[in-house]
Amino acid sequence: MLAIKGIYQDGNVTLIDKPPALEASEVLVIFPDKTKIVVKIGGLFKGYEINEEEIEKELKALNQQSTIHLVEEAGDEQ
């Protein structure tokens, strides 16, 4: 198995890196689960109040920035 990242948009998958195989190949596309829940925060943060809503906002912003960056990179390679 070989894993290669790509961007799904409007029913199409654009690969970020080109696979080494040149012949037709069967592929498996796995979409990450968007629901990520913090079950327990420990370590250095034990005893501190954690604002989970603020963490969620920050993670969504990072996810959007990452997606934009990956789409831009995929567009540069074409």
Query: Is residue 26 included in any domain, yes or no?
Result: yes
Query: Is residue 50 included in any domain, yes or no?
Result: yes
Domain residues for 19? Answer: 6-77
Q: Is the pLDDT of residue 78 over 60?
A: no
Q: Which residue has the tokens 């540069």?
A: 76
Question: What is the number of domains present in the chain?
Answer: 1
pLDDT of residue 58: 92
Query: Is residue 1 included in any domain, yes or no?
Result: no
* Mean pLDDT, range 53-75, rounded to an integer: 86
Mean pLDDT over each residue of the chain, to the nearest integer: 81
Q: What is the pLDDT of residues 7-33, one digit of tens each?
A: 888 888 888 888 887 788 888 888 887
pLDDT of residue 1: 75
Query: Is residue 15 included in any domain, yes or no?
Result: yes
